Copies of this chain bind each other. A is one copy, B any other.
Amino acid sequence: MARNKREVDHDVKRGQIEDAACRLFLVDGYEATSMAAVAKAAGVAPNTLYWYFANKDDLLVAVLDRHVNQAIAQLATKQDQPLSTQLKWLLVEFQRTSRLVSTVHARMDRSDTIRVWHDRFHAMLDQMLVDRMVSKGMSRAKASVMATVGTYVVEGLLSHPHTSQQMDKVVLWLAGNDQL
């Protein structure tokens, strides 16, 4: 008897649950965060989550979309800065979410929802990268290869330990070679 039934808008409450999940998934990781923990942080009973999300993977997708949309929005404000700067900013930005990258790959073949999201994300990223390189004068054939290479190198850098020097060297090579 308090905050239920229309006292709070559906989307607002859904957003509050996403807030809690967002925070916990980043700090503790997806697998280490139980639905019970998310519910507690959001101030609801565990099963209430299932009114707003079909399952835990669905909640993950909502969290992922938040991160991606935020990154895209912030990147848009940096379009006129040098490309190496943008690349480095993107790396630092995604480093915070590197655990989620691993989680997505691990859950892809257990959850259709996650696999669809993953494939869509890569299609979008790939198109973005190819278009940029083509507009810089690179042939579409080469741009296609370099987009794939660039994506996987960044993913690898994110999910493996590195000295910042080694990382800088690789980013430098990438920026020079890709003509991003």
Q: What is A's interface to B at a CB cutoff of 8 Å?
A: 29, 31-32, 99, 102-103, 105-106, 108-110, 119, 122, 141, 144-145, 148-149, 151-153, 155-157, 159-161, 166, 169-170, 173-174
Contact = CB atoms under 8 A, between A and B. Distances in A.
Contacts of A157: 148, 152
Contacts of A109: 29, 99
Contact of A153 (B103, B149, B166): B149
A180 to B, nearest CB: 15
Q: How many copies does the complex hold?
A: 2
Nearest to A162: B148
Contact of A105 (B108, B148, B159, B174): B159
Given A144-B166, A145-B170, A170-B148, A160 B99 contact: no
